[in-house]
Amino acid sequence: MGKKYVYSFEEVKHANTEEWQFALGNKGAQLSEMTAIGLPVPLGFQITTEACRDFYVAGKKWPAGLESQVKQKLAELEKKLGKRFGDKKDPLFVSVRSGSYVSMPGMMDTVLNLGMNDDTAAAFAEKTGNKRGAVDSYRRFIQMFGDVVMEVEHARFEEILHRKKDTKGVQFDTELTADDLKEVIDEYKAMVKKETGKLFPTDPWQQLKMGIDAVFSSWNTPRAVSYRRINKLRGDAGTGVTVQSMVFGNMGETSGTGVSFTRNPATGKKEHYGEFLINAQGEDVVAGIRTPKPIDELGKLLPAVYKQLLNVYGLLEKHYKDLQDFEFTIENNKLYLLQTRSGKRTAHAAMKIAVDMEKEGLVTKEQAVMMVKPDQLNQLLHEQLDPVAKKEAQVVAKGLPASPGAAVGKVVFTAERAKQLVDEDPHTKLILVRLETSPEDIEGIHVAQGMLTSRGGMTSHCAVVARGMGKCAVVGCGDISINEEGKFFTVKMKGGELRFNEMDWISLDGGAGEVFGKQLPLVEPRMSGDFGILMKWADEFRRLGIRTNADTPKDAQVAKDFGVEGIGLCRTEHMFFEGERIKAMREMILAENTEGRKKALAKLLPYQKEDFKGLFKVMSGKPIIVRFLDPPLHEFLPKEECEIKALAEELGFTVEKIKQVIVSLHEFNPMLGFRGCRLGVVYPEISEMQARAIFEAAIEAKQEGFDPMPEIEVPNVITVKEFRLIKEIISNVAKELDIEGRKIHYKVGTMIEFPRACITADELATEADFFSFGTNDLTQTTLGFSRDDAGKFIPLYIERGALEQDPFQTIDQQGVGKLMIMAVEKGRSVKPHLDIGICGEHGGEPASVEFCHRIGLSNVSCSPFRVPIARLAAAQAAIKEKMKAGKAAPKGERAKKKAKK
């Protein structure tokens, strides 16, 4: 038997699993799931994602067996419904929809009303007694099929429709008569023939086959590829295709269509949240062309349907135990569900929904922790508009608060322009202003700070994508008039008209739907109580310790407030670039002998000591890993002629002397040059000064009642012998200052940054008290990529499938990861309880944190504002492990401490 490519909805039981979602696409899987639990779903069948993958393998041709299986399921559907596809008396019409294993809203193609031609449309009119509804459906089909399948520009159809409305003096397409729409259809057909050189297809089977081809092909459209890259989704999964019997929301005043969420996806509040349109089809709501009505108004127009819809809210949440985003159609007072999926939500909403559902008994604490995506927490840490400045500023326009947060940036009117400007300068802050966004705008949305649209509602494309990406958005802002060609928008005010041109500053408040006509300052956000509750639950489940990368008491305090358990990396070189410090550092580098270097280092020691003392005070009772000087010395010397002259005058050197030193320190490859522990081996006085500063700071902090816990880290180590040389310097200073006698516990460890260090980790473990992976350098030296230069080609590598993801953003588990596993196994073969952590920015990236959990690291360290992300990711890694193993997850470090007490 060949492969099974096609399943009817009722054929698949228990479809809400990762396996079925991958096999059928999430949309198809959930249609089977809703069918199984008795919800009103129009009948249909689904084509697997494997068929899509095989379609591409076969050179974009249907794989063997697919056509016969589709025809068989179509015949079964005809039998169930008592209708026939293409019949001239009682025709069956279907929709063809895409569906990835993870929802990709609006990124791939859909065709509605498939199977229509002159004969079937006439039969439909006679059968329903609704000539206008039938003709309108036919008009919609030609427009959608012509756009999606035959690749005729969507705007060409809109031009014809708008021209007809203007001729008839009406505003909405619903005001056009059946005869008007027939004329539109004739114009559509003529235009399609002119644009493509082909007649519009009238054979229903040909339409279906072409529609399925188009959905398969939409998997690799630029917008779909961009969306997967931005959201780190698999590019090899393929899309499923859902073929579903049509129900029509455009049959008059007792029909309609809508989109609804079981809770408010912007705030998390348990309330009726959604929109609908009477006498419309599904794409009308999300496209933002007509402004829909709030869902509660449906109760006044169609009370029986509204009552049924409210019941659906509860049924979906009870079954899925999560916020659901569902689409529905009403045909002649009968409700049908067309789709459900886990709703995109803001981070604030995600927190509230998770905590509230646990309180309501819908989910357990573990399930609640799994409901919030770690990367979403970035939204919680986003800055807000300064309330004082906002109060004094004038609101120039007001729209719908589609996605909360603040956005301050310069106006641009196209996604292409936004991407161009950010490519030229990554620090450019932009706000994308559009009539309405479409899936093609995904790259512009990605780089913009926020979006402002004049059309659309709370469930429009812009609103849904903005919430999912954590972007601020104000939509449906009818106060503004946009001239995209002229690159400006205007706002009518009491005193006249305001005009905003491209690159003018504006500010948005996504939570209030307000637009301000100037650049407003931003302030740090405030955390809700739900944040604290969820983080507390996360700490109960995680095993990994969470530390931070911090060089100043201020950064350390921020991280401490976010629940950090220590500092995993304090970079001492950052302390040398201020005021008198850089002067003393340069004096040390220019010194001609050991005595001169020691004299200069003596000037640096008080500064270093005060820096470390400040950190010990903030992190009292928590470990602090202090990394010895790491970068090459030439980085501290001036480069400009004027700066060299000023330094020469200040220190009493000749310009020639300074230039000679600069030339002597020049390296062809500084990353692999004279840096890290190599500095301490050649100039031991540098390591001696840093050790003394650390220990003297610890002594003074101890005397003032604090509990310092220094852990000294030696960077760039490749042999145990060089590590031993530096460790001996540290130990001698510790003995001189009687650190043990003063009951100050300290450790000396090493960074693991090179493949050789991983391979010889068992040797290093004989001397080192801890390891800390420097994954930035380990990635560079393993892959042979320069982090500063690889950005030129890595995006192309990802686009062409040579790499799945940027290895500097998420750990390369197949390469770098295997070296890490080797180092862990070798290190702990010598010291079973060796403390091993990670301190690159990978330490705050969720997939990397999960990997660190799996290979048994002790802790991860990341920047202060990524600490909550790491805490949640670590908890989810432990819960996943428990779910996989079917046994209790190990308790977190805090739980262990409490148990000991």
Tell me the catalytic residues: 461, 839
Q: Rounded to whole angstroms, what are the CA distances from 798 to 220, 221, 247, 443, 607?
A: 14, 15, 41, 16, 45
Query: 3-state class of 500 per DSSP?
Result: strand
- 551-555-557 Cα angle (round to 5): 120
What is the spatial distance between Cα 258 and Cα 717, in angstroms, rounded to a whole number? 62
What is the spatial distance between Cα 667 and Cα 176, in angstroms, rounded to a whole number? 75
Q: How many Cα atoms occupy the beta-carbon half-sphere of 38 within 13 Å? A: 3
Instruction: Give kind and range of the element (H or E) at residue 665.
Output: helix 655-665
Q: How many Cα atoms occupy the beta-carbon half-sphere of 175 within 13 Å? A: 11
What is the spatial distance between Cα 657 and Cα 679, in angstroms, rounded to a whole number? 21
Answer yes or no: are the C-beta atoms of 851 and 338 closer than 8 Å: no
Answer yes or no: are the C-beta atoms of 698 and 624 closer than 8 Å: no
Structure tokens that stand for 620 in this block? 């009292």
**DSSP per residue, 184-238:** HHHHHHHHHHHHHSSPPP--HHHHHHHHHHHHHHGGGSHHHHHHHHHTT--SSS-
Structure tokens that stand for 442 in this block? 């995904």
What residues contact 424, with CB distance under 8 A and at least 6 apart?
none
Q: Is 697 left (phi over 0), alpha (psi -120 to 50) or beta?
A: alpha
**DSSP per residue, 559-580:** HHHTT--SEEEEEGGGGGSSHH
- 162-163-165 Cα angle (round to 5): 65
Amino acid at position 446, single letter: H
Nearest residue to 185 via CA among 149, 161, 155: 161
Q: What is the 8-class DSSP label of residue 504?
A: -
Answer yes or no: are the C-beta atoms of 133 and 104 closer than 8 Å: no
- 359-362-364 Cα angle (round to 5): 75
Nearest residue to 829 via CA among 779, 886, 771: 771
Structure tokens that stand for 142 in this block? 């030609």
Instruction: Give kind and range of the element (H or E) at residue 553.
Output: helix 553-561
What is the spatial distance between Cα 146 and Cα 419, in angstroms, rounded to a whole number? 29
Answer yes or no: are the C-beta atoms of 99 and 21 closer than 8 Å: no
Burial of residue 801, with CB atoms counted within 10 A of its CB: 0-12 exposed, 13-18 middle, 19 or more buried: exposed
Structure tokens that stand for 191 in this block? 């235009």
Decide the pairing of beta strands 91-92 and 84-85.
parallel
Query: 3-state class of 335 per DSSP?
Result: strand
Structure tokens that stand for 26 in this block? 């999430």
What is the spatial distance between Cα 901 and Cα 892, in angstroms, rounded to a whole number? 15
Answer yes or no: are the C-beta atoms of 32 and 15 closer than 8 Å: yes
What is the spatial distance between Cα 551 and Cα 559, in angstroms, rounded to a whole number? 11
As beta bridge partners, residue 749 has 713
Q: Torsion angle of alpha carbons 249, 250, 251, 254, nearest 10°?
A: 60
Instruction: Give kind and range of the element (H or E) at residue 548.
Output: strand 545-549
Q: Which long-range contacts (CB under 8 A, 24 or more apart) does 75-78 make?
A: 76/8, 76/45, 77/8, 77/43, 77/44, 77/45, 77/243, 77/245
**DSSP per residue, 426-486:** TT--EEEEESS--GGGHHHHHHSSEEEESS--TTSHHHHHHHHHT-EEEE--TTEEEETTT
